[in-house]
Structure 1
Amino acid sequence: MVSAERFEELSEGLARGVRQRPEFAGIALLGSASDAAAVRRDEWSDHDFFAITRDGEGRMLRPDLSWLPDADRVVLTAREGELGFAVVYDDGHVFEFAVADAGELAEALAGEATIAVDDADGTVSRLVAESRARAAAGDEFDPANDARLVLVKLLIGVGRARRGEVLNAGEFVRSWAVRLLVRVARGRAPGRVSTARDTIDPMRRFEQDFHELAARLADAQAKPVEECARDVFDLLRAFEPGWDDFPTEAADAVARRLGWVAASRSVV
Structure 2
Amino acid sequence: MNPDAFDALSADLAEGVRADDRLLGLVLLGSASESGRMRRDEWSDHDFFALVHRGRGAEARESLDWLPSPSSRVLLAREGDIGFAVLFADGHLLEFALAEIDELSGAVAGDASVVVDDEAGSAAGLIGGAQRRAEASDRFDPANDAALFLVKLLVGVGRVRRGERLNGGQFVRQWAVQHLVRAVRGRFAAASTSRRDIIDPLRRFEDDFPAEGARLAEILDSPVEEAARGLFDLAREMLEPGWGQFPAAAADAVAARLAWGPDAAERRAS
State the Cα deviation string for residues 53-79 of structure 1 (Å, max 9, x = none).
111111110121111011221100101
- How far apart are 1:98 and its partner, in Å? 0.1
2:67 maps to amino acid: L
RMSD: 1.0
State the Cα deviation string for residues 133-169 of structure 1 (Å, max 9, x = none).
0000000011111001111111111111111111111
2:140 maps to amino acid: F
The residue number in structure 2 matching 1:151 is: 150
- How far apart are 1:245 and its partner, in Å? 1.2
The residue number in structure 1 matching 2:253 is: 253
- How far apart are 1:5 and its partner, in Å? 1.1
Q: In structure 2, what is the Cα distance between the partners aligned to 1:131 and 1:177?
A: 27
- How far apart are 1:195 and its partner, in Å? 2.1
SS of residue in 2 equivalent to 1:51: strand
Counting aligned pairs with the same residue, the percent is: 54
The residue number in structure 2 matching 1:99 is: 98
The residue number in structure 1 matching 2:115 is: 116
- TM-score, with normalisation over the residues of structure 2? 0.96
- How far apart are 1:221 and its partner, in Å? 0.7
The residue number in structure 2 matching 1:137 is: 136
2:264 maps to amino acid: A
The residue number in structure 1 matching 2:265 is: 264
Tell me, yes or no, if structure 1 residue 229 matches structure 2 residue 228. yes
Q: In structure 2, what is the Cα distance between the partners aligned to 1:70 and 1:200?
A: 31
Gaps of 5+ in 2: none
Deviates more, 1:190-199 or 1:116-125: 190-199
Q: In structure 1, what is the Cα distance between the partners aligned to 2:96 and 2:153?
A: 34
Deviates more, 1:189-198 or 1:40-49: 189-198
Equivalent residues of 1:235, 1:264 under 8 A apart: no
Gaps of 5+ in 1: none
Equivalent residues of 1:52, 1:100 under 8 A apart: yes
Tell me, yes or no, if structure 1 residue 41 matches structure 2 residue 40. yes
State the Cα deviation string for residues 6-54 of structure 1 (Å, max 9, x = none).
1011100110000001111110000010011112211000000000111
1:242 maps to amino acid: G
Equivalent residues of 1:28, 1:117 under 8 A apart: yes
Q: In structure 2, what is the Cα distance between the partners aligned to 1:262 and 1:101?
A: 52
- How far apart are 1:264 and its partner, in Å? 3.0
Q: In structure 1, what is the Cα distance between the partners aligned to 2:209 and 2:184?
A: 8
Q: In structure 2, what is the Cα distance between the partners aligned to 1:65 and 1:191?
A: 44
The residue number in structure 2 matching 1:190 is: 189
1:46 maps to amino acid: D
Q: In structure 1, what is the Cα distance between the partners aligned to 2:133 and 2:265?
A: 37
- How far apart are 1:194 and its partner, in Å? 2.1
Q: Number of residue pairs matched? A: 264
Query: Which ranges of 4 or more aligned residues in structure 1 deviate by more than 4 Å?
Result: none
The residue number in structure 2 matching 1:125 is: 124
State the Cα deviation string for residues 150-191 of structure 1 (Å, max 9, x = none).
111111111111111111111010111111100011001111
Q: In structure 1, what is the Cα distance between the partners aligned to 2:198 and 2:128?
A: 14
Q: In structure 1, what is the Cα distance between the partners aligned to 2:59 and 2:98?
A: 10
- How far apart are 1:243 and its partner, in Å? 1.1
